[in-house]
Structure 1
Amino acid sequence: MPETRGLVLVVEDEPHIADLQRRYLTREGFGVHTESDGAAGLAAARRLHPAAIVLDIGLPGLDGISFCRALREADDWTPVLLVTARDEEADRILGLELGADDYLTKPFSPRELVARVKTVLRRAAGPPGEPVLTLGRLVLDPQRRTVLRDGAPVELTGTEFNLLARLMRHPGRIFTREQLMSQVWGYAGYRDGRVVDVCVSQLRAKLGDASPIRTVRGVGYGATDRPA
């Protein structure tokens, strides 16, 4: 059997959409396993340990939000790409707060779906050979994807880790929300900064008074080892 880029679990209750996702991902060299309801999808995630999960929010039985919550509560940080309807903005934000790594809004291009799966996997892998970053009381290891606060580990979602790493790589630099959406989430030209604000809020809650993140009103966010 030829080697694939990794297994992608697709959890989608609309058969034609699931089939479209499967076909396009398969063309790009991914192995694909599909499930049509949340409970079966969660069982498959625990059984198969996929490289990434494409997860519809509006699933029968166990919905995508509950699925994501159960996954993260079990300390499973498999990259999750949410698929949402346009009227599910609140659920989309909640999904990101629970640890989803990215999202697509229906209707979407299957080519964009494949590109976003590749992106979340690339972010999870990190650039090769990058040195450990230290800022204030934090130590971030890009290769092991670990963060230590005063020597103790801090559990972060994939996106939280990527945002913190982006800021720590450039201490003192201020990024606009639009820049962070492009560089961390991959949304070029996307101007709604609420997703960034949610992720920053979650990071600050987890890092406590060791958080290096500073807000510059009307501009964006940066990182510094100086006290707030």
Structure 2
Amino acid sequence: MPAPLVGRKFGVSTIPVPDRETCREIRVLGLSGSSRYEPGMSKSEKLLQRALARFEGYGCTTQFIRLKDLKIYECEGNYSENPSYCTYPCQSSMKYEDDQMQDVYDAVLACDVLILATPIRWNNHSALVQKFVERMNAIENQYSWFGNPMIRDKVAGLIIIGHVDGVQHVAGNLMNFFAWLGFHMPEVAIASWVGENDEDTTKDWAQIESNKYTQEDLEDLVSSSLRLACALKRHGAEETGRSK
């Protein structure tokens, strides 16, 4: 007799978090890819802020960046002309004095854990996130063309919120992107929520807050990211010790 369709199991596994002293060494960057002008309007950003608060509760240092607040020029595709033209520092950062992408580069390179939050826009991540992705070519190309890997022992996780189907598509694209950069993915890499077909976005936040699965995923995203980041940092320290 087939098992009854009761939905996903809740609370099946609890991911333990390393001790607070270990977590104090972890630096977490939260990147918001929402295009909402006013802070607090974006649901994906609200969940990101909640995740950062939980990281802080475990003793981590956090940094929050709204891509919307920065002047970031588009990638000009120098790689397409010649891979050696796609450099770090990025050509656009050097070309435009008011370009602020270097602030993002610095934050990414300094963090141990990066949590990227995005809404779903027509079955894809936001245009702001796409601009970030393309400008990160300067980092990725340092490894693929110049043999200089700039991303080592870092963890990436995602928060994806939308009102139409598309979480897996967005997650697949972004996880592929982070993998090419050299990031590691935790066992629970995604916290997400997708609204109903009625398109009534006015009730979304209440439903997100009451959705026990989304809240569990958010907690597990934080916990598993911390576990992996601490393990990678410990492994890096051991490798450094052996090389001396």
Shorter-chain-normalised TM-score: which range? 0.3 to 0.5
Higher normalized strand content (fraction of residues): 1
Flag the structure with more relative contact order, 1 or 2, with Cα contacts below 8 A and sequence separation at least 6: 2
Higher normalized helix content (fraction of residues): 2
